[in-house]
């Protein structure tokens, strides 16, 4: 949502105009939402060829999620080398838990100035699923 400051009138056309904060607008289509689902879906889709998990089901799951992403709720493929300071925490019956720093971190919003995603470095938990190298669609439906 955007903040409205007031109104003015174009002196040539005599059209009335709303004066509002432009930081709440999409930087590409100038729609009324800074997190523009349509523009961001295009950006994600253009990036699909640039990454792969190596698993068709995971790739499709992430891609479908990104096409419907909401601000602060973006599912991503995170290359393992982007996880720093990995520390063992605990082991259970089906998994092992670690903690790590994810750099550059989760997507916050699109920077029209930088023409790239703004991210936030984040401390994350990693859950290593035992014998899970061949995940399938049935498993992902449970996630």
Residues 54 and 26 both lie in one domain = no
Flag whether 143 is in a domain: no
Residues 121 and 87 both lie in one domain = yes
Flag whether 136 is in a domain: no
Identify the domain containing residue 46 by its residue range.
Answer: 35-77
C-alpha 74/C-alpha 108 separation (Å) is 9
| End-to-end CA separation in angstroms for the chain | 31
Q: Report the predicted TM-score, pTM, of the whole model to 2 decimal places.
A: 0.78
Flag whether 138 is in a domain: no
Residues 89 and 123 both lie in one domain = yes
Flag whether 48 is in a domain: yes
Flag whether 95 is in a domain: yes
Residues 62 and 89 both lie in one domain = no
What pLDDT is stored for residue 64 in this prediction? 96
**Tens-digit pLDDT profile for the chain (143 aa)?**
568 899 999 999 999 998 888 777 888 888 888 899 999 999 999 999 999 999 898 999 999 999 999 988 999 999 999 999 999 999 987 889 999 999 999 999 998 889 999 999 999 999 987 777 766 666 666 55
Residues 29 and 42 both lie in one domain = no
Token reading at 139 = 């498993």
Flag whether 141 is in a domain: no
Number of domains observed in the structure of the chain: 3
């Amino acid at each position: 949502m955007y903040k409205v400051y007031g109104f003015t009138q174009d002196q040539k056309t005599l059209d009335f105009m709303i004066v509002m904060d432009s930081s709440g607008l999409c930087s590409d289509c100038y729609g009324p939402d800074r997190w523009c689902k349509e523009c961001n879906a295009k950006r994600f889709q253009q990036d699909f060829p640039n990454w792969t998990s190596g698993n068709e089901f995971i790739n499709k799951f992430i891609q479908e999620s990104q096409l419907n992403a909401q601000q602060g709720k973006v599912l991503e493929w995170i290359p393992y080398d982007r996880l720093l300071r990995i520390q063992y925490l605990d082991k259970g019956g089906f998994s092992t838990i670690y903690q790590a720093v994810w750099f550059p971190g989760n997507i916050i919003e699109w920077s029209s100035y930088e023409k790239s995603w703004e991210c936030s470095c984040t401390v994350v938990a990693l859950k290593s699923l035992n014998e899970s190298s061949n995940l399938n669609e049935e498993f992902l439906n449970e996630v």
